[in-house]
A and B are shown apart, each in its own frame.
Chain A
Amino acid sequence: MRRVSIVFRREFSGYFATPLAAIFLVVFLFLASMFAFNIGGFFDRGQADLRPFFQFHPWLYLFLVPAISMRLWAEERRTGTIELIATLPLTMQDLVLGKFFAAWAFSGLALLLTVPMWWTVSFLGEPDHGVIVCSYLASWLTAGAFLAIGSAISSLTKNQVVAFVLCAAACFLLLLSGFSVVLDFFRGWAPNMVVEGLSAIGVLTHFESMIRGVIDLRDVLYFASLIVAFLVINTAVIDWRKAA
């Protein structure tokens, strides 16, 4: 655990060594509120809740998360520092977890900076705070799942652009597979089981049910197992081809 935290601290402070952190946070806050106010109709709904704010988060993460995750391993490979950290007395697991938690904490920080939205609705009306807490959790878990996918993909290449594009594509598929357009497309001819399965692996199904304010253990387990599965893949890939 101490070894993970050493990797975590280096990675986390690494975000602030370059303009990356500032740019990411500003863009995230700007887009998140723009979606909420302009497209989500935050004020027009006449309801004191944050649904119009949260419902676009998975779409924002679609291109913002790959921007964080693309460099996680690709950069280590390109600069050769992977050879340095892989020969320190740290296990691959320490490195994978330290990097992932740093990235996840960073996305959590971005979310934390949106708390003024919460103050705003509390000022304007009587929102259901339980639903909002639940929505924050849903948003953070979605970011975590995308980050784990992105980290695993980043470990496959030394090219950050490739990592970005592949991660965005993978997250897009995962997002869409719960979407009614896609489900309807299959519903006509595919067996019911396939449709159910597709909807079950889709991020949106779980995300939507959580931002309605219901913490269903199955939803949390869904995100947790996505994260664990991709971090295991991540570790295996790095172990398998460290030098590539």
Chain B
Amino acid sequence: MTTLIEARGLRKKFGSIQAVDGIDLTVSAGEVLGFLGPNGAGKSTTMRMLTGFLEADCGSVQLAGVALDVDPLEARRRMGYLPEGAPAYPDMTVRDFLMFVAQARGFLGAEARRRVDDAIQRIHLHQVVGQTIETLSKGFKRRVGLAQAILHDPPVLILDEPTDGLDPNQKHEVRNLISEMSASHGKAIVLSTHILEEVEAVCTRAVIINKGKVVVDETPERLVAMAPERSGGSALDSVFRSVTSGDLEEVGQ
């Protein structure tokens, strides 16, 4: 399978804090990589480096064969990104906002309209297209963010907490959309989440990071099998706790 995302030795320091400490990631077409870790583990920082929003202190990123530092514009064309919190311009209507993103992505006139209509249909945004974004519920805002990330049909998708704030029905819908895009459209998708069941539901691989380092890189099935027998809660929960709890103990003391 073709490798669509390749990150080598990413490091990032903020002041004296080593937020990301040497992360390697390879994601192939058709893979959905679930990115897990406690708050502050470096998930968002890593995703920001994958998208080029943050410059890594060292390391390299290739998106669909284009090195981010060599041709940043071309690399960004091949990627869709939902930033943390799904930021969007509050005064714009959903349609105007999506049109702006479509035009910024180089689509003109009728083609831009077609792309926007298509995204609106896939994410089920019909009922809110004329509303300004500030009047939307959290769930709809998140979906607008998803719509702008997929409207150019990129081979690479990087989604920072795509289902955060959605109700169970909407979560289910978004997960179906993600599975469909990876399976039948052959995209490489990285998504971060706090919901462990989501990893079992949509991801083909789970990466857990802690203190800026990858501590687990497994399929969800293997991850479940790794679970210690003892604990209550789901198997994934206990694996997550056991590989990241060092952190919690330190904080507790």
Contact = CB atoms under 8 A, between A and B. Distances in A.
Nearest to A7: B104
Question: From DSSP, what is the main secondary structure of chain A's interface residues?
Answer: helix
Contacts of A243: 48, 53-54
B27 to A, nearest CB: 18
Contacts of A80: 83-85, 87
B83 A89 contact: no
B51 A87 contact: yes
A243 B87 CA distance: 13
Contact of B104 (A14, A88, A242): A88
Interface string B70-94: 0001101101010111011111100
Interface string A73-87: 000000111011111
A238 to B, nearest CB: 12
A24 to B, nearest CB: 15
Interface residues of B, number: 29
Interface string A1-27: 001001100100110011000000000
A212 B73 CA distance: 47
B100 A10 contact: yes
B132 to A, nearest CB: 8
Nearest to B48: A243
Contacts of A10: 89, 92, 100
Interface residues of A, number: 22
A180 interface: no
Contacts of B103: 6
Given A14-B91, A17-B91, A84 B100 contact: no
B104 A90 contact: yes
A4 to B, nearest CB: 11
Interface in B117-134: 132
Given A18-B91, A81-B88, A243-B54, A88 B105 contact: yes
A91 interface: yes
Interface string B207-247: 00000000000000000000000000000000000000000
Interface of B: 48, 51-54, 73-74, 76-77, 79, 81, 83-85, 87-92, 96, 100-101, 103-106, 132, 148
Interface of A: 3, 6-7, 10, 13-14, 17-18, 79-81, 83-91, 242-243
Task: Across the A-B interface, give the 7 residue pairs with the lowest CB-CB distance, nearest first.
Answer: A80-B87, A17-B91, A83-B83, A89-B76, A88-B104, A81-B87, A89-B73
Given A10-B89, A83-B53, 13 more contacts: A17-B92, A17-B132, A18-B91, A79-B87, A80-B85, A83-B48, A83-B84, A84-B148, A87-B53, A87-B81, A88-B76, A88-B101, A89-B76
